[in-house]
Structure 1
Amino acid sequence: MTGILSGRVAIVTGAGRGLGREHALELARQGAMVVVNDFGTTLGGAIDPANPAHEVVAAIRAEGGQAVANGADVANFEQAGAMVQQAIDTYGRLDILVNNAGFVRDRMLVNTTEEEWDAVIRVHLKGHFAPLRHASKYWRDEAKAGRTPQARVINTTSGAGLKGSVGQASYSAAKAGITGLTLVAAHELARYGVNVNAIAPAARTRMTEDAFGETMAAPEEGFDAMNPANVSPVVAWLASAGSEVTGRVIEVEGGRVCIEEGWNHGPQVDSGARWEAAAVGAQIEQLLAQAAVPEPVYGS
């Protein structure tokens, strides 16, 4: 298969369903050889013995592409390393890492259990770190050996991580952490030929159908803005050697692409000395009056 990713090797995590599945299919259509990772879990994180990764591999091969399945738990450091090694052993290299795996356990903050918090932070945040850490070491070693790669990492954050979402404290915190990880990795890995970006997709998946219901439903006719396949061409371009962008977060919804601008320094004042507690309030109130009003939290 030929396309903008011809000859490149990719890992897509959480690629058995939803966004990850569409990413894997699109990358393969664009010529990439794909390691299709899925741990095979239910929406709540329980193990599902019918791992859908094999079906995605079969679909890619049926279209003439190359793919292999992987069942690693991406938040397990050793398993994540073995997944990266599988790509290298199978196809001789690794060029692309798409971190997508995750699940939700939505609760209002006062009802969230420690186990629910830990599980969501683990799968999203550590599940991004572990594959990225192992892939980064491989790319650093390649660069030091004089084979500087044109590697690309696409992480998955969310509007919940950028603005917050009522009833999703753990998910919002994890996705915000992924944004910070993306910015740091983009800076640290640039010297090794690695570009790192994140997408904030809005699409109909198992996670969003329960959270947003009818707003994610497919239309009876016309353009289906919530089809997860709409997001994947952006991922494919970011994964290409022709993409030079790094350290950015890009929101994708239907046909809309938006560059997120994130935190920037706003109005400020410097007293030149330590503030008195009784005096600082009036100064902060003046600064707030000059500052941009934050966009509302989802669900507020």
Structure 2
Amino acid sequence: MRKNFIPILVAFIITFQVNAQTLNTEITENTKTPYLLGKIDKSGLEGDNYKSWFTKNYNDYKPNASITSAISSELKSYTITLFMGTWCGDSKREVPKLYKVLEASNFPMEQLTVVAVSRQPDLYKQSPQHEEAGLNIHRVPIVIFYKNGKEVNRIVEHPVNSFEEDIENIVTVNNYKSNYQIVTAVDNILKTKGLKGFNKNKKQIFKKYKDNLKSISELNTYAHILFTTDRKKEAIEVLKFNTKLFPKEPRTYSSLANKFYVNGDIKKALKLYKKALKLDPKNEQIQKNIATLKSN
């Protein structure tokens, strides 16, 4: 019995050490500036390469004490998962505020999971263990609230009002609508009804959201995530839809052309680049892309 116990104990210690070592992993190779990747905690954000922005933005933010006090009791029944990028301007601005609000609300920090995602093109907004898989992480930071293991709501990129006010809504009436609602709608349809369902509902989506869109990047960024996670057909259909939402924006056509080019469909890519160039005749990059395709 004693002989078996020692190997088990050693295995447990090694496993614990490996798990501990994976927290706050810092990437320094093949990048201009270091960044954290995978599961992290506050101590990682207070490290030498991140404390300049984390500490300043944390100290500068003054939460509304009456709201943090009001949400404290109910918030404890939730778990929270935060996806962020230590390379991302929005994350640098917003994440320190979120920490300040959660701490002011006496939120049990062991119920907070923080995942830092990659900035590299082949793993863009992904983590090594792919905690983001299936969660529609198209922008960062994204703060997901769970209750009894089910997602209740999320804050996307930045609060609509403030973290205190947004969280108060989520843990009370929960009629909160995060930023980028068109992305949420499209993603839900693709997951539940597939491409056929998306194509069937395009007119309805167009009518509902076209007047509330701020820029082409709302769906552009989402489509890029789809493309880099091997959902290429869906990505292309979303980008096609974006050209209908923004028919006078050259970048919608060049973005779609880029994806066709990567897929090896030179003819369609060239046609779309030409459309983009008509809208932006002085764009040197589009001119270069067309010349490259013609020379192939």
For this structure pair, what is the TM-score category when the shorter chain's length is used for normalisation?
under 0.3
TM-score, normalisation: structure 1: 0.24
Computing the radius of gyration over CA atoms, which structure comes out larger, 1 or 2?
A: 2
More helix as a share of residues = 2
TM-score, normalisation: structure 2: 0.25
